[in-house]
């Protein structure tokens, strides 16, 4: 009888620990998240790669960057990426063909918070977009546009950390945390703990 009671107590403890592990899994582990500025730099790189692929037939060109404040933070990176191309000339080059690269729009958007498990952390789907155009002036004008986007998931609690106060274009409207989380979750946790304690002592007293 005593052995049976001990086995029941062990099974209840095991079930409680398993339940807590499942409910709380994912709350402590998360991948290193890139900042919004990091992602904008990646999109800028991709835009240059697309432009270079489209203009590889050009024998040479003079590069002109058309960037407004504070998007000129990308100027050095763009210059390095473009001048690494063997067909490009220095910014003060004398080539007759001119390539004018312009960033026209940036945006950061967050969707409604969601959870990967019942009592885990809130997450946000983040979408970052970069749009612009490039103009090839070689006696005629040939304007082309580009639009690049990156969508991923970040922890809700770290959303503001992903933004930079120095660069307003890295900011988006962060939605409010759902009311359910702040009111009902503590009650559910307390209720689950009370039931577990009740079952533990009920079995032990038999």
Q: Give residue-wise pLDDT tens across range 58-97.
A: 777 888 999 999 999 999 999 999 988 656 654 445 567 8
Q: Give residue-wise pLDDT tens across range 22-34.
A: 444 444 444 578 9
Closest to 162 (Cα-Cα) out of 132, 130, 127, 131: 127
Mean pLDDT computed over 3-30: 49
Closest to 118 (Cα-Cα) out of 195, 14, 20, 50: 20
Q: Which has more pLDDT, 3 or 52?
A: 52
Closest to 101 (Cα-Cα) out of 129, 119, 74: 74
Would you say residue 99 has pLDDT above 80? yes
Mean pLDDT computed over 12-31: 48
Spatial contact of 82 and 63, defined as CB atoms under 8 Å apart: yes
Mean pLDDT computed over every residue of the chain: 79
180 Ramachandran zone, left/alpha/beta (phi>0; psi -120 to 50): alpha
Closest to 141 (Cα-Cα) out of 97, 102, 178: 97
Q: Give residue-wise pLDDT tens across range 116-125.
A: 876 788 999 9
pLDDT at 84: 82
Q: What is the pTM of this model?
A: 0.72
Spatial contact of 126 and 152, defined as CB atoms under 8 Å apart: yes
Element holding 186 (H helix, E strand): helix 179-205
Check residue 88 and report its DSSP letter. B
């Amino acid at each position: 009888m005593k052995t049976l009671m001990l086995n029941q107590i062990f099974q209840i403890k095991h079930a409680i620990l398993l339940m807590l592990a499942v409910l709380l899994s994912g709350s402590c582990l998360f991948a290193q998240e890139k900042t919004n500025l990091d992602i904008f730099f990646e999109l800028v790189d991709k835009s240059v790669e697309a432009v270079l692929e489209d203009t590889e037939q050009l024998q040479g060109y003079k590069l002109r960057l058309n960037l407004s404040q504070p998007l000129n933070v990308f100027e050095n990176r763009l210059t390095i990426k473009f001048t690494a191309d063997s067909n490009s000339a220095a910014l003060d080059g004398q080539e007759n063909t001119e390539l004018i690269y312009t960033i026209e729009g940036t945006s950061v958007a967050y969707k409604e918070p969601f959870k990967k498990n019942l009592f885990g952390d809130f997450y946000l789907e983040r979408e970052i977009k970069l749009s612009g155009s490039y103009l090839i002036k070689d006696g005629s004008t040939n304007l082309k546009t580009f639009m690049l986007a990156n969508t991923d998931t970040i922890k809700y609690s770290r959303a503001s950390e992903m933004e930079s106060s120095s660069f307003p274009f890295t900011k988006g409207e962060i939605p409010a945390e759902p009311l359910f989380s702040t009111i009902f979750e503590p009650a559910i946790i307390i209720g689950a703990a009370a039931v577990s304690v009740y079952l533990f002592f009920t079995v032990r007293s038999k």
